[in-house]
Structure 1
């Protein structure tokens, strides 16, 4: 069950390092905290735990937590069978206790109270979170009293906040962040959760109304949608929260009075429809402004909220605000990147008899415009040039280099009536001296109609994935000929040319490697996936084929931009 260990330190070298985001999330916990993997080995620890245990992260990570830390009251080794924490870990359940001991480096022990709970981070399960407090040695651990209210214990509150930090801030998708927020608070803190957000146009939109129905969560889309504007003079709870004035505990009795605004009318309708008897409302604040309001409500749970619950609701809303701020910044950057890239990429020419379409998808990182590009333009001899390429990099420098390479290629191709290999050889040499592009791959081709109704394709390939040709009968093959070295290598080996005849109704697909490369797999897997899906849609309109290829072939873990150029000859 255990991986290889360092015989001197007892450290398990097979333990995978934790993501940096997980370690940062633990630092938000106001107590000692560490996370173990499915074997019980520590993979992340916060600064408070290092201080309390007198050990550094390097001295903790990789060790079996039980073997390293758990002891009896006199420092003796504690068998697994006597460790309640270990039992809960193996059963995959939450538990808490007190009157146990952790070993310190000097041989003494630290009395602790603890909470342990299964912990999913960034969609990955199999981990367990342990939070612990130091106890006074004289304290006698006793059974935890039955709480007459629904208030969380301090350890449960800290665990929830740590989970909220990790879950909410580890995604840049607003919808996914809201789904995670719902799962965090329902039904743990509330029967109902409502999220009202202020759009970038200062409009209020009720984005979430969700309710716990047993183990399931149900969205009530009929209660979601646009809301009336926030009035500065309104002193009712939701209006105050949306202005960032205050958090409030309220109930339906407040909203059955004469309303002072349209939002108050909507809130009365909400209480009537949901049956909530108590609600806690807190502002969702970003770094510069109020972004909305979080409402937690209780209907089935008979315990009403009190002012003592507001700090926890505010803490969760604050984390949601940070996540929402990041997501909105991401979306703005992504929009700018897409707009810039679309302006850099050309409009396709109208070529009699040829149908053409192109697609571009940016890399997942919003701020990264990329070096992938496509082009098609008329040549001086009446043929049409086709190009697909990938300049190394995912930044403004790569996008700038892409524009330089594309423009130089156009100039050479228009002015020199030469085979594709000669044009690309000149481009490779010029690129080394008058651009900052270090390396690039590309296919440069020319296509022209023949008298018999077919089309001749001539091309050279500079280190790029091969074109895909699909016949009208659905038979698909990659054009492997004409392959040479990438641009920017410094090699001056002769570049080959290749030719193929495109029969009527043929479809040609040029693409960049982001479409077919998948982490941990050989590229042949992606190429075969492309061949099968493109052939399946060869009888559909060319635009449909392009969209379906991108949707079905591009790997889910793709971190690269993708360019695609497809054409079809007339039947």
Structure 2
């Protein structure tokens, strides 16, 4: 095709329609002043203009062909954002035009930048569909070298309060709520935002200090940490706010005299370290208690706070108190639920010569409990039972159903110690259908027994569960696909198969639930292959490290399911 030109294109080589469309797209993007990125329907970057490459600190070759979400999108801690919670991804899938503020993206040098975005669908002349995304830095309310800032109008105040309500009521995470409020008030109202919270034991922690510098918000962890107790009589502004008194103004002169408490010493340090010349301090009140205090400080802005600023600050902290009350109540409920879940799971028995470890991780965005469970217990003689299962659901009902299934399994297995695992599971299935409040469940039941050759044997049956994974000491990993039958609770009466395998010395056997391998955006085969490869690479790790690293490396970031796993490692023949 060299030397051929498309009609009306001068010396441009003639290209296919799709290739020509791509060339024209890239040329058009260069005429866009904003940072522009084009993605296809799968979210893969197909073009990025020079402005986007500069903003993201990545050359075109480092962008094109990569998944835009996985490569760029992060939360405030630099971790990947679950795809199910990504507004940009959802807009792409629904072909909607959406706008967002204050999202975090990672540059090529690893630095996080907070950007606004606008995404809209497009269709090329060749019929290729995707979306155009514009990325830009948030508009700055004022320049850092301004000596004075224009006061907020009444409309500005109402807009700020409305935005605060929207931002704070859309999260149930205390840390996230505080970061959102800091982003709303700095630099719009101040150069610094300082949050001091009271714990349930009336201890004080300076949980967040945010500074506006060089056009970005910076978290000053060096100024955060535990604080001295709240004095009962101190007239100092922060002490009074933490006792629930009305908001007040403060400055360096407020704390120049001899300190009357440890908190006053810390406030002296705060003013010295930050250079604040004016501060407004207000209590954060919940429905029943004082939860903490917010300090807004000005250092670069030369105009001080005045008493007319305090009503707005109190409106902000009133909304903050309600949001923190809700978040803390939710977190207490999560803690209670998770504690209940963990108490429902058993302590692992001590097996002679065998190492055993188990892990349970609650679903990140559900009620913190679910139907995933594991179990291991002694049978008559030298045999031990090993089980893992998953009851349908991610709530307290699923957790209660899990406890029913596990307890019935123990009873059947103990009362029939010589029965094949398939017979035990068949009895359990009949019981689930008639006396348990469980819709459906999957599980694996195995019996571990030592042989005369000093090797352990696994005799198992599988009721619709992901297959066990066996990893040898030299890094060979394979799934035990035999003995696979239907799940529990279907009402279908079919024979259940059994299988037996010899576990080699120093081998690792892993039983796990589907939350470790399933993802809304990948097939189960992809997840199983990923687990197999990672497990093989960790074959020489100590068993606890093996389990922790698997959870860290394999569990999909976009999976909202809980995860349970149980692993055992056989001894070497020398140990026997």
Once the two structures are superposed, residues 410-469 of structure 1 have per-residue CA deviations (whole angstroms, 9 ceiling, x without a partner) of: 121122211111111111012211211121110011121222233221111111111111
* Pairing of 1:459-470 with structure 2 (within 5 A): 459-470=460-471
Q: Distance in 2 between matches of 1:366 and 1:424?
A: 29
Distance (Å, rounded) in 2 between the aligned partners of 1:161 and 1:119: 17
Cα distance in 1 between the residues matched to 2:552 and 2:455: 31
Structure-2 residue corresponding to 1:336? 336
CA spacing shift, 1:195–1:245, aligned 2, 3 Å:
same
Show the counterpart of 2:520: 519
Residue 101 of structure 2: which of 111, 119, 127 is its match? 119
User: Match for residue 166 of structure 2?
Assistant: 166
Instruction: From the superposition, tell whether residues 125 and 490 of structure 1 become closer, same or farther in structure 2 (CA, over 3 Å).
Output: farther
Structure 1 position 270 matched with structure 2 position 262: no
Distance change (3 Å), C-alpha of 1:291 and 1:366: farther
SS, match of residue 565 in structure 1 = strand
Q: CA–CA distance in 1 between the matches of 2:530 and 2:223? A: 43
Question: Whole-Å Cα distance in 2 between the matches of residues 368 and 268 of structure 1?
Answer: 42
Q: Secondary structure at the match of 1:172?
A: coil
Aligned twin of 1:28: none
Deviation by residue 1:395-423 (Cα, 9 ceiling, x = unmatched)? 23222221221121112112221111111
Alignment map for 1:213-362 (pairs within 5 Å): 213-362=213-362
Shift of 1:497: 1.0
CA contact (8 A) 2:193 2:295 kept: yes
In 2, the alpha carbon distance for the partners of 1:389 and 1:266 equals 52
Residue in structure 1 matched with residue 474 of structure 2 by the alignment: 473
CA separation in 1, counterparts of 2:405 and 2:265? 60
Distance in 1, Cα, partners of 2:479 & 2:166:
45
Using the size of structure 1 for normalisation, the TM-score is: 0.73
- Quote how far apart the aligned CAs of 1:367 are: 4.2
Aligned residues of 2:148 and 2:302 also touching (Cα < 8 A): no
Secondary structure of 2:360's aligned partner: strand
Pairing 1:470-509 to 2, within 5 Å after superposition: 470-509=471-510
Aligned counterpart, 2:59: none
Map of 1:102 onto structure 2: none
CA 1:445/1:334 → structure 2, altered by over 3 Å: closer, same or farther?
same
Residue 15 of structure 2 corresponds to which residue in structure 1?
A: none
1:119-149 deviations in whole A, cap 9, x for unaligned? 3589995359xxxxxxxxxxxxxxxxx9964
Compute the displacement of 1:334 (Å): 2.2
SS of the equivalent of 2:424 reads helix
Cα 1:531/1:162, change in 2 over 3 Å: farther
Aligned CA distance change for structure 1 residues 393 and 260 (closer, same or farther; 3 Å)? same
User: 2-side partners of 1:162 and 1:336: how far apart?
Assistant: 33
Post-superposition Cα deviations, 1:534-558, rounded to whole Å, max 9, x if no partner, equal: 1111100000011111112122233
CA contact (8 A) 1:348 1:377 kept: yes
Matched-pair contact (CA < 8 Å) for 1:122–1:170: no
Q: Please report the TM-score for the alignment, with normalisation by the length of structure 2.
A: 0.72
Number of the residue aligned with 2:142: none
Equivalent residue pairs, number: 447
Note closer, same or farther for the CA distance 1:565–1:125 as it changes in structure 2 (3 Å cut). Answer: farther
Verify the 8 A CA contact 1:121 1:166 in the aligned structure 2. Answer: no
Question: Which consecutive unaligned segments of at least 5 residues does structure 1 have?
Answer: 2-13, 15-36, 42-61, 65-88, 93-117, 129-145
Q: 1:154, CA displacement in angstroms? A: 3.7
Structure-2 residue corresponding to 1:540:
541
Q: Equivalents in 2 of 1:125, 1:155: separation in Å?
A: 23
Q: How far does residue 294 in structure 1 lie from its aligned partner after superposition?
A: 0.5
Query: After alignment, is 453-462 or 207-216 more displaced?
Result: 207-216
1:383 aligned to 2:383? yes
**1:456 alignment partner, SS class:** strand
> Secondary structure, in 3 states, of the residue corresponding to 1:245?
coil
1:503 Cα deviation after fit: 0.9
Which residue matches 1:446? 447
| Separation in 1, partners of 2:444, 2:104 | 39
1:226-255 CA-to-partner distances (Å, cap 9, x unmatched) read 222223322221122112221112222222
**C-alpha offsets along residues 362-389 of structure 1, whole Å, 9 cap, x if unaligned?**
2235744221110111222422111000
Paired position in structure 1 for 2:529: 528
Task: Answer whether contact 2:212 2:218 (CA < 8 A) is retained.
Answer: yes
Structure-2 separation of matches of 1:176 and 1:514: 25
3-state DSSP of counterpart to 1:182: helix
Does the CA contact (< 8 Å) of 1:121 and 1:167 recur in 2? no
Name the SS for the 1:528 alignment partner: helix
SS at match of 2:324: helix
330 and 523 in structure 1: CA distance in 2 versus 1, 3 angstrom threshold: same
Distance 1:463 1:521 in 2: 20
